[in-house]
Each structure stands twice: as C-alpha cells, then as structure tokens.
Structure 1
C-alpha cells in the first residue's frame, strides 16, 4: 500500500516497510517530516523524534492538526498515507523542472513521442499539485462531503454527488432525487454477527446496507433487460405472403 510512494521518496527501508509495526510507522512519519515536509523548525521536532515516548501519539496528533490534515491520528494507516501524499506533492514541486523535462524527453532507452496539443483544458491540469488538491478539498467542504486521504477519491465522490443531485433535471425537480420516507433505524438493524467492536459493527452495518442497495440496482437492471428481451421474442410477425391455401 505504501511501498510505491516510499520508493518514490527514496525512503531507505521502503522494501521492508510494515505499517502495522509501530516503530516503523513512527520512524517513517518522522523521516517524512525531517526530509520532505519540514513543517516544523528543526528545534520543534523533539517530541516526534522521541519514538519510544508514551506522549508520541499526542505529539503526532498535534502535528497532523498543525498540518490541517483531514484524517485523525487514530487512523494510523490513513494518516501515514496522507503524509506520503503531501510529501510526494512537495517533492514534485521542489523538482518541477526535472520532472517536466522527464515527461517531455522520455526516459533513457525509450523513443521520444510527440503529442499533439490538446484542446481540452483538463489535459493540462496537474492533478497532484497543491493547488488542485486544495481546490478539491474546498469543493468537498462546500458540498459537506468528508475528505478522503486520497484527493482523487474525494474528487470521485464530488463528481458523483454533482451528477446525481445537481444536474439540470434534479435542480428543476428536486423531488426526483430527494429521499423520502422514514429513515432506516441503523442502530436497531441486525448485523447477523458480532465483531466484538461496536464501532466496527456500525461500519459493517453501513457496508451491508450499501451492498443491498447495489444488489437492488442490479436486480432492477436485470428486470429491465428481461422486459426488453421479452418485447422482442413475444411479438412474432407473420409474413402472409408465404402462406398457401389448399394443397
């Protein structure tokens, strides 16, 4: 999950990295701050450098807050992935000419390709730039959507909401998309099994309901396909010109 980004950042232990190991996770977070992000001054990184301290988690939580990270320190994998994404963006910005040159000239040993200029302005966007990521996050907050550690996932959610709820037909008649009826009592829903963790149980209930919704949509599509096929095979046409009277 993290190996590719760590390799891109030249992390010394990228191949052997295990984010479930607290020592490795803390070391990676410290390395990202000291070598790539550098949000704190060198003298202010003391709490993060003391990897064995009991207060390290609190220091890491403050660090994420100072970075305005959309993830919590309790989500260790998510917070590390967000830090890696930020570090990659900063590394790209620091060496912008180098990477742009690599994109134009191609890699060694490979033939150069000449691309025709695109008339689509979206083709000229840098989808990993700090400005683009910040714009996606602002748009998500405007639509009251939570931000995912991967800004492209957030952008996909924004696109889905706009296409479903803010299209011309929906704006002209909001009743077409506004959910009606009694809210489903999620707290009283029967999961069918117990994970032993109340929070995990709630997440499993949500995933189960989403799965049921997808199954219903699939069944509806299947029914529509069956009706369309029946309309073709259940209406035979007779060519009377081929008929004969008598022997």
Structure 2
C-alpha cells in the first residue's frame, strides 16, 4: 500500500518494504527525517536514529507529535501520513521542477523512451485484428469447439481442449481422456430448489454439476498429496544393530 509513495520519494527499498518488520519501519522513519522532512536539527535526531533502543517507540511518538500530525493510532495510518507529508515537502522544495510535469509532457517522455523489443512472437500479435479472429473461428471449427461471441473466450476454451485432449500424454494414451459411460440426465436431475423459472433451473443444474466436478478434481489432488506424503513417511528403514526403527 506504500509502494507508490515510496517510489515517488525514491526510497531505495520501495519494492521490499514490509511495515510489519520493526527494523524496516524504524529505518524508514529515520530516512524520512534525515532525507525529506528534516524537522529536527541534526544533533536532535540521535534518539530517533538509535533504532535498537528499547525506548525508540517513545521517541517516535514524540516525533510524530512534534510534527503536529493527525491523531492516528494505527501504524499504517501514521506512516501513510508521514509519506504524504514528505511528498508535499519534496514538491515544495522542487516546485519549479515538477510544475511542468503535465500529462502531455509525461506522454511525450514515454513516447521518446527506448522501446523494448520482445523475442516472443505472441507479444506482437494484435488479438483484436480481424485476421486473428478469423483464425480463432477456423481453429474452433477444426476442434469442434462451440464458438462464443467473444473470440477470446473461444480461444480459452480451445486452450483447455488442446491441453487436456491433445497433450503428449493424451495422444499416447487416448483412453485416459475419452469419457466413457452413460451421459448424465441433466434435465431429469433434482436441483434441490426452484427458482421459479425453467431456464434458470436448467442453468443452475449445469452450474451445480460443474461445481461438483471441480470438487472431485480437488479431492483427487488432495488424495494424491496424501499418498505422496505417506510414501515418504510410512516406509521407515530398520537398523537391527541399533535396536530401533527409523532413520
């Protein structure tokens, strides 16, 4: 939540700052006072700089009060105010530098910035181009995938089909992915409740079956994890010389 303000202040640990880390928090407060706020004289900052002192929180409370800051109780609120205050001071000290930074100038600077050329051909595709949409439709017909008005949703559906049915494992063992058995009678199934609308009832049945399928898939993965853990923990080696079982 503080990354944007820390970036604006050019703080060196803007990406790694963790307010729950006491040392990081105290170091940031010292940095703000030394580099941006400068409310105290240099000689009066010693107690604040001693971040290992057991009385540091008392010194911080006094410092926060001396700034005539709002009566915030939570550390997150106090730090957010201090960062905003430091940004305000930074702008005041460099008003001439920042007042010319209009949105048009920022866009101009971005347009003049060097462009990074990606080696991944997919990054250069125009997913809204008519030629791309036509390719999606043709591939959907080839894979016998129902087409959605949004071609990107159709593309997502085809991705699932290719991943599940056309992977190397599936091609080597087609029986593992071919659905067998009698189709489930969705229309005859009991929904358990009534929405008052036939179409909504049918849609709810489909959603319920999809949810059950996801739960079964989750349970299968949980079972695989349990089996894997048991294979590692339930096969102790016995050393008769030690007279005990285990490693």
Considering Cα pairs closer than 8 Å and 6+ residues apart, tell me whether 1 or 2 has the greater RCO.
Answer: 1
**Higher Rg of the two aligned structures:** 2
TM-score (norm 2): 0.50
